[in-house]
């Protein structure tokens, strides 16, 4: 069984981008942590990162028949994208929404998420460990 890990715009710059906010770990570190966690629980992780909304939507559509659950950090699309939310609703898989930073302690425009109402749960502010927690919780929900 497979879990899809989706990282949205600018997360390819992790480790370089505003390290005071997002930490010094890289996207490779995130993918390695999530993959190891998934493997330990009997799941295979498929990881995609894109700066393009449509590429993320296509990856979510593919997950419909190929994955059992989705972990997503939608980046700034969290606060803007009805299309991404509709894609997640459309494939009807359990979704974990993850943010590295505590979006609620930041600017007002980061407080609203189009994704949260359709997510099983939301983790914000736990850094890259949030991805590990998300994989663990989804695996428990699928058990
Ligand atoms: C983020 C928070 C978003 O507000 C921001 O646009 C990001 C990253 C996070 O992981 O903390 O790109 O999703």
Contact of 99 with 78, CB cutoff 8 Å: yes
Structure tokens at 96: 């974990």
Q: What ipTM was assigned to the predicted interfaces of this complex? A: 0.99
Residue 63 DSSP code: H
- CATH code of the domain covering residue 134: 3.40.50.9100
Q: Which structural domain range is residue 98 located in? A: 2-142
Residues of the chain with pLDDT under 70: none
Residue 130 C-alpha to ligand 1 middle, in angstroms? 13
Looking from the CA of residue 79, the nearest atom of ligand 1 is 4
Our answer on whether the CB atom of 137 is closer than 6 Å to any ligand 1 atom is: no
Q: Model pTM?
A: 0.97
**Is 100 marked as a binding-site residue?**
yes
Q: Is the CB of 110 under 6 A from ligand 1?
A: yes
Are 140 and 42 in contact by the 8 Å Cβ rule? The answer is no
Q: Domain total for the chain?
A: 1
14-30 pLDDT per residue, tens: 999 888 899 899 999 99
For residue 118, the model assigns a pLDDT of 98
Q: Give the bridge partners for 95, in sequence order.
A: 70
Place of tokens 């979006």: 103
Task: Provide the 3-class DSSP secondary structure of residue 134.
Answer: helix
Which residues does 61 contact at the CB level (< 8 Å), separation at least 6?
A: 87, 90, 91
CB 80 within 8 A of CB 68: no
pLDDT at residue 20, rounded to an integer = 87
Contact assessment for residue 35 and residue 45, using Cβ atoms and an 8 Å cutoff: yes
Whether the CB-CB separation of 70 and 60 falls below 8 Å is answered with yes
pLDDT of residue 103: 98
* Residue 49 near residue 28, CB atoms below 8 Å: no
């Amino acid at each position: 069984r497979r879990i899809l890990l989706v990282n949205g715009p600018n997360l390819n710059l992790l480790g370089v981008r505003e390290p005071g906010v997002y930490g010094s770990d890289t996207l490779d570190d995130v993918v390695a942590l999530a993959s190891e966690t998934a493997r330990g629980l009997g799941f295979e992780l498929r990881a995609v990162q894109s700066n393009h909304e449509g590429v993320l939507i296509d990856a979510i559509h593919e997950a419909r028949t190929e994955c059992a659950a989705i972990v997503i950090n939608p980046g700034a699309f969290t606060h803007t994208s009805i299309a991404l939310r509709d894609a997640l609703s459309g494939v009807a898989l359990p979704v974990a929404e993850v943010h590295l930073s505590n979006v609620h302690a930041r600017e007002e425009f980061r407080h609203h998420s189009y994704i949260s109402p359709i997510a099983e749960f939301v983790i914000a502010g736990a850094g890259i460990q949030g991805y590990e927690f998300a994989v663990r919780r989804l695996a428990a929900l699928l058990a």
